[in-house]
Amino acid sequence: MYNQGILKGKRILITGISSKSSIAFGIAKAMYQQGANLAFSCKTNKLKNKISLFSSELGSSIVIPCDVDKDQDIKDLFKKLSNIWINFDGFVHSIAYAEKCNLHGDFIDTISKDIFQTAHNISSYSFIAMAKECKKMLNKNASLVTLTYEGSQKVIPYYNIMGLAKASLEANVRYMAYTLGENMIRVNAISAGPISTTSSYSIKDFKKIFNFSKLIAPMRKLVTSKEIGNTAAFLCSDLSKGITGQVIYVDGGVNISKINIS
């Protein structure tokens, strides 16, 4: 339907939609409106029918289940995708997971090696694992985008293990950008301001973070998935060819503010 736009002719794989409130849905919509051809992956087979309904609204019938905690699922994802697309122009990694008990309790008292490893595997390692598996299918000037949060840099109450996993993810972005740069493939992260989603609501008191972020934001408002989506579209387009290895804040400026007394 959208034949024009900054992503005209580009093929992009979108991960991490579980509902229409998912940030990845906002990204997919923005990319579709910019002319991209889209494919989708979702965590489980059970989600496939639901995501197929969303994907058909966005001109795509490609939905492939992939639990990124399973190496074989990642291999299968790209094997199946390669039967439809021989090559493509990038993917959006919009996936994170941590055990709720650590996002609701005392950081030290509720941590375990298992909780630490699971959060890092799913929220950080999976980004490299996907890149490793599809590297050969990526076109010149392809772009990989992941989603992070300011809790990687500063203590945000109850963000806990996700803060560590996001710090790892942001370091990944830099090392992946360096390694893939010689193939003219770019890698960036968007550090999004708080958005109401299943993931954010699994963090205790996140509502307070919303309210505080709104209070200190220079723009006096929270960002929307559409605004994040438009930035992701830009990062996957040739307009951002000079940008790689960056963490780009799309948070209405929250990260620059400490307090707003107006």
Q: Which residues are catalytic?
A: 149, 159
Tell me if 102 sits within 8 A of 115, measured CB to CB: yes
Residues 6+ apart with CB under 8 A from 189: 145, 146, 147, 148, 169, 170, 173, 246, 247, 248
# of chain residues touching ligand NAD (CB under 6 A): 25
C-beta of 28 vs 35, nearer to ligand NAD: 28
Instruction: Verify binding: residue 133, ligand NAD, rule CB under 6 A.
Output: no
Question: Nearest approach, Cβ of 58 to ligand NAD (angstroms)?
Answer: 16
Among 5, 69, 137, 224, binds ligand NAD (CB under 6 A): 69
Identified binder of ligand NAD from the candidate list 13, 17, 27, 31, rule CB under 6 A: 17
Using CB under 6 A, pick the residue from 194, 231, 240, 246 that binds ligand NAD: 194
163 belongs to the binding site for ligand NAD (CB under 6 A): no
Pairs from 122-126 (Cβ < 8 Å, separation ≥ 24): 122/68, 122/69, 122/95, 122/96, 122/97, 123/95, 123/96, 123/97, 123/98, 123/162, 123/165, 123/166, 123/168, 123/169, 124/165, 124/166, 124/168, 124/169, 124/172, 126/68, 126/69, 126/74, 126/93, 126/95
Q: Considering beta carbons, is residue 32 or 97 the nearer one to ligand NAD? A: 97
Q: Which is nearer to ligand NAD, 17 or 187 (CB)?
A: 17
In the complex, which residues of this chain contact ligand NAD (CB under 6 A)? 16-18, 22-24, 43, 67-69, 94-97, 122, 147-149, 192, 194-195, 197-200
